Amino acid sequence: MIGKCSSCFMIVNGVPNTKTCREPVADGLVVERQRGWVSPPAEQVDLGNVENYEVETDVLVVGGGPSGLSAALKVAEYGYNVLVVDEHFRLGGQLLKQTHKFFGNVELFGGMRGFQIAEEYIKKIGSNEKIKTLTQSVVYGVFRGGVVGVSGKNAHYVVKPKAVIGSTGATERYLDFINNDLPGVIGAGGAQTIMNEYGVRPGDSALVVGSGNVGIIISYQLLQAGVRVKAVVEILPEVGGWFVHAAKIRRYGIPILLQHTLKAVYGNGKVSEAEVVAVDNNFNPVPGTEKRFEVDLVLLAIGLEPDNRFFAQCGAAMKWSPDLGGLVPLRTLDLETSVKNLYVAGDASGIEEATTAIIEGQIAALSIVSKLSDGSRASKAEEEMEKLIRFLWDEYRASPVLARARRGKQLVTVSREEMEKIRSVNPPPVSFG
Amino acid sequence: MPTPSFRKTGVISLEELSTLNLLPPESRLKKGPVAVLECPEMIPCNICVPYCPTKAIKMEKLIDLPMVDWNKCTGCSVCVAVCPGLAAFVVDLSKEDGDYVTVPHEFLPAPKVGDEVTLLSRTGEKLGRGTVTRVWERNKTYVVTVKVPKGLGMEVRAIWVEK
């Protein structure tokens, strides 16, 4: 979600629709407000000299979050070259703003805080000569012949990979309500970026919409930052997130209003009040139950949607999955899509959580290196992959709190034979390798 | 299976804890400090198991509920420090002068020994004032022991340091 919503669009150095949340401050930077649609600049903006490069790599990783980084390290561990491309100026993705301690087991970073996992990954990647990274760079397109275009800072890259791991993550959902464009209404991920990455308190008092783990965790973090959280609003009749997270905010007196939704926000130029309303069992608002809260911050934590743009452009066979948050590529158990040698890992494969994203990244990497290798290296990779697949499906995802994601992922996973059929019926326009 | 009420409230009752074998028996509670792990969902996590210095916490599978061997548990509060869910507490109901509760605390300023702090229940209800008797820190989680009025040992689950 970092840098993927449009909440922070401004005109920077004459360029409209710049995501300011990932634009580092620099001397002489000109930032202007933009309202609504802004026409492209009339004159060409001088971007300085743009260098062109052609890059060959064994593996291209699109997105440097938990799954992408764990994949890159695994590829390098087996001696292959890997290029990681990320839009942000720092690698780590969502890990950068996760200040809570991770669950799981000790081998999978359990007990460490998300940003500490990112720090460890960044350190390992920085000292690994097999891994090249491009930050502030965007994979903008894929072309026939399996060539990938990357637009970087003052540089343009044409990448020819043998395999690609799409670890593109997810975007935050938005919600329709009266005045939802008032400043003060932001995505929970955006607030986490401002607060946890840049150390800026996003407001004084907040209402949080959505009681999934993201909504509850952000409420706790707001409290830590000294923001008063008036309530968490949840449209369903039970808390969305894990009990232990919910208990954490309840102890400090934050109410969770079940079967309630946000009706409107009010304010002169920025949010000063939010109005919530109870809903019946059919999710219809119950007139007369409106309540108003004096807040200057309304955070939307109503779910994520897989970022599937890269897969769609590659022509991967996709399936709509409500359990996984939207349209996701069909894949085999080792996470290969219907585009030969294009893999999917992490939230792009269906919304789940960071530990499973890390495991998926490793599975995709191991499948690729087992294909690139032969002999004992190939069988070692395959063995390691099989072990991870079993752990992921039979142990980790056996948890009832992951039942929905598990069901969703089962429904979009097909056998290798089925995938071959899909490929022959619906041949994708590109392939890699 | 009907949805347990803690899934609707984010608050667990002593009855629910007891049903799930998460509550130490009365006799053990009266003997001295002991861990109470308020971890009622089968989440994929076993962090407390390898960290317990007396190997008192058992879990066969990653998603099992943590089962404490109350006789092995010394109430050392390492689990309070490492539990990612901040769901581990240590309770000591054995003292005459009051109950002692050890809670995880992740707010600044850090509490100091001797501080008078506000005591909070599982619902955030203010339960009066308590005195901090011990503070230590591990990876940015403060592990804070507070002396609370007798009878509140199973009710206090957080503290608030007035700024």
pLDDT digits (tens, 9 = 90+) for A242-263: 999 999 999 999 999 999 999 9
Q: What is the pLDDT of residue A43?
A: 76
In a domain, B100, yes or no: yes
In a domain, A85, yes or no: yes
In a domain, B154, yes or no: yes
Of A101, A223, A247, the CB nearest to B122: A247
B-contacting residues of A 348-377, CB under 8 Å?
Answer: 355
| ipTM field | 0.97
Reading phi first (left if > 0) and then psi (alpha if -120 to 50, else beta), residue A267 is in left
Q: Please state, in angstroms and rounded to a whole number, the distance separating the CA atoms of residues A166 and A306.
A: 11
Distance of CA A293 to the CA centre of its chain: 30
In the numeric block, which tokens belong to residue A122? 């960044």
Residues A201 and A219 grouped into a single domain? yes
Q: Which of A270, A302, A334 is the last residue of a domain?
A: A302
Residues A322 and A411 grouped into a single domain? yes
Residues A277 and A355 grouped into a single domain? no
Q: Which residue from A313, A385, A351, A365 is spatially nearest to A94, judged by alpha carbons?
A: A351
| Helices and strands, number each (H, E), in chain A | 10, 22
CATH of the domain at A58: 3.50.50.60
Residues A280 and A311 grouped into a single domain? no
What DSSP element (H or E) covers A11?
Answer: strand A9-12
In a domain, B98, yes or no: yes
In a domain, A433, yes or no: no
Residues A118 and A195 grouped into a single domain? no
In the numeric block, which tokens belong to residue B112? 């100091």
Q: What are phi and psi of A156, to 5 degrees?
A: -125, 130
Beta bridge pairs of residue A158: A54, A149
Residues A182 and A295 grouped into a single domain? yes
In a domain, A431, yes or no: no
On whether any CB of chain A is under 8 Å from the CB of B137, the answer is no
**pLDDT tens track for B89-132:** 999 999 999 999 999 999 999 999 999 999 999 999 999 999 99
Q: How far is B31 from chain A (nearest CA, A)?
A: 27
Cβ-Cβ contacts under 8 Å, B139 against chain A: 101, 111-113, 116
In the numeric block, which tokens belong to residue A115? 């940003």
In the numeric block, which tokens belong to residue B80? 């309070």
Cβ-Cβ contacts under 8 Å, A113 against chain B: 139-140
pTM: 0.96
Burial grade of B3 (CB within 10 A; 0-12, 13-18, 19 or more): exposed
Strand (E) positions, A333-380? 342-344
Interface test with B, best of A248, A250, A352, A353 (most B CBs within 10 A): A250
Q: What is the pLDDT of residue A370?
A: 98
- Domain of A181 in residue numbering reads as 174-302
Q: What is the pLDDT of residue A153?
A: 84
Question: A–B: how many Cβ contacts below 8 A?
Answer: 132
Q: What is the pLDDT of residue B1?
A: 64
DSSP state at residue A104: B
Q: Which residue from A361, A318, A308, A371 is spatially nearest to A341, judged by alpha carbons?
A: A371
Beta bridge pairs of residue A61: A84, A165
Residues A310 and A289 grouped into a single domain? no
* Cβ contact B7–A239 (<8 Å): yes
What DSSP element (H or E) covers A223?
Answer: helix A213-224
Cβ-Cβ contacts under 8 Å, A111 against chain B: 47, 51, 82, 84, 139
In a domain, A292, yes or no: yes
Query: If you search the block for the tokens 């990455």, which residue do you land on?
Result: A197
In a domain, B1, yes or no: no
Of B8, B121, B141, the CB nearest to A239: B8
Residues A312 and A165 grouped into a single domain? yes
Q: What is the pLDDT of residue A3?
A: 61
Residues A30 and A128 grouped into a single domain? no
Residues A219 and A287 grouped into a single domain? yes
Interface test with B, best of A99, A101, A223, A233 (most B CBs within 10 A): A101
What DSSP element (H or E) covers A52?
Answer: strand A51-62
Query: If you search the block for the tokens 């993550």, which residue do you land on?
Result: A169
In a domain, A413, yes or no: yes
Q: Which of A246, A271, A302 is the last residue of a domain?
A: A302
Residues A27 and A93 grouped into a single domain? no
Q: What are phi and psi of B80, to 5 degrees?
A: -60, -40
In a domain, B76, yes or no: yes
Domain count for chain B, please give it: 1
Q: Please state, in angstroms and rounded to a whole number, the distance separating the CA atoms of residues B118 and B130.
A: 6
On whether any CB of chain A is under 8 Å from the CB of B141, the answer is yes
Q: Which residue from A360, A363, A361, A382 is spatially nearest to A371, judged by alpha carbons?
A: A382
Q: What is the pLDDT of residue A21?
A: 82
Q: Which of A244, A278, A302 is the last residue of a domain?
A: A302
Low-confidence ranges of chain A (pLDDT < 50): 1
Q: What is the pLDDT of residue A1?
A: 47
**Mean pLDDT for chain B?**
97
**pLDDT tens track for A357-372:** 999 999 999 999 999 9
> In Å, what is the CA distance from B121 to each residue of A253, B22, B101, B144, B156?
9, 18, 12, 15, 5
Domain count for chain A, please give it: 3
Amino acid at A93: G
Of B42, B82, B84, the CB nearest to A400: B42
Amino acid at A144: R
Strand (E) positions, A247-383? 256-258, 260-266, 273-278, 291-294, 297-300, 304-306, 318-321, 326-329, 342-344
In a domain, A430, yes or no: no
Amino acid at A298: V
Q: Please state, in angstroms and rounded to a whole number, the distance separating the CA atoms of residues B144 and B158.
A: 9
How do strand A228-234 and strand A256-258 relate by DSSP bridges?
parallel
In a domain, B126, yes or no: yes
- Domain of B147 in residue numbering reads as 6-160
- Does the pLDDT value for residue B13 go beyond 80? yes
Of A105, A253, A400, the CB nearest to B62: A105
On whether any CB of chain A is under 8 Å from the CB of B122, the answer is yes
Residues A149 and A192 grouped into a single domain? no
Cβ-Cβ contacts under 8 Å, B11 against chain A: 247, 250
* Cβ contact A251–B63 (<8 Å): no
* Cβ contact B46–A110 (<8 Å): yes
In a domain, A432, yes or no: no
Q: Which residue from A407, A391, A307, A320 is spatially nearest to A94, judged by alpha carbons?
A: A307
In a domain, A19, yes or no: yes
Of B10, B107, B157, the CB nearest to A239: B10
